């Protein structure tokens, strides 16, 4: 246990491991996720009226174990979107820079929008991480994460996360909760599913304008 804790500390992740040590984990290592620097201290404890927001942990998020050789398959991969960006470039979504800086996020127009990452080939996926906008503590609405081998997302679509609790997007009532944007990003379990395309939906936020922002998307898995 001591040696594995040292590995986690060296990665700068903090927190605890999601899975106990044992024979079944001999070929697994902590997810090698490197977090950006926090842009603000703490997270609001009270959600705006009408929002069902999960309560912050108040401590570093647990670090999951993944098979050795797991990498960020989304890095510098092609990104498309439901509409051309309002401001910024789609390349920002997978450029590896997730710091909260001016001009570091692509902005899409209001209403329901999506961004999609093409991994280049089907791959076994373990975790998705999305940073919408963490320069300020905000809540992004109608977050839905889906994967598929169909670039049109018509056939073979699997929903991995959905907090659209009133089915505004028409993809079913979401059972997940809304969450505060922080430097940790939102970690989503992909459950080892095999897919080539990853799509994230959103519909505005509690920020001062109705735009949809994406700073970075990482897709951790095994493929090529």
Contact 215, 181 (CB under 8 A): no
Q: Looking at residues 105-110, what average pLDDT do you find?
A: 98
Confirm if 218 and 33 have CB atoms less than 8 A apart: yes
- Between 52 and 51, the higher pLDDT residue: 52
For the entire predicted model, the pTM comes to 0.86
For the chain, what percent of residues have pLDDT higher than 90? 76
Q: What's the domain count of the chain?
A: 1
CATH code, domain carrying 123: 2.60.120.260
Instruction: Return the pLDDT at 44.
Output: 67
Full domain range(s) for residue 89: 2-222
β-pair type (113-131, 194-202): antiparallel
Query: Mind listing the pLDDT tens digit for each residue in 168-190?
Result: 999 999 999 999 999 999 999 99
Structure confidence at residue 119 as a pLDDT band (50, 70, 90):
very high
pLDDT band at 52 (very low <50, low <70, confident <90, very high): confident
Confidence band, pLDDT 50/70/90 cuts, at residue 55: confident
Burial class (CB in 10 A: 0-12, 13-18, 19+), 9: exposed
């Amino acid at each position: 246990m001591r040696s594995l804790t040292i590995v986690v500390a060296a990665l700068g992740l903090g927190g605890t491991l999601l899975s106990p040590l044992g024979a079944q984990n001999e070929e697994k290592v902590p997810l090698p996720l490197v977090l950006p620097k926090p842009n603000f201290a703490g997270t609001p404890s009270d959600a705006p009226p009408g929002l069902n927001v999960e309560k912050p942990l108040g401590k570093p998020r647990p670090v999951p174990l993944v098979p050795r050789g797991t990498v960020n398959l989304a890095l510098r991969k092609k990104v498309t979107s439901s509409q051309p960006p309002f401001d910024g470039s789609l390349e920002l979504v997978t450029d590896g820079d997730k710091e909260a800086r001016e001009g570091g996020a692509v902005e899409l127009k209001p209403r329901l929008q999506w961004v999609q990452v093409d991994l280049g080939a089907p791959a076994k996926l373990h975790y998705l991480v999305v940073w919408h906008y963490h320069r300020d503590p905000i809540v992004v609405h109608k977050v839905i994460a889906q994967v598929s081998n169909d670039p049109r997302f018509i056939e073979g679509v699997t929903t991995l996360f959905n907090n659209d609790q009133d089915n505004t997007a028409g993809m079913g009532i979401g059972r997940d909760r809304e969450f505060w944007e922080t430097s940790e990003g939102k970690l989503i379990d992909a459950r080892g599913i095999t897919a080539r395309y990853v799509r994230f939906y959103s519909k505005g936020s509690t920020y001062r304008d109705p735009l949809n922002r994406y700073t970075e998307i990482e897709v951790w898995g095994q493929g090529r």
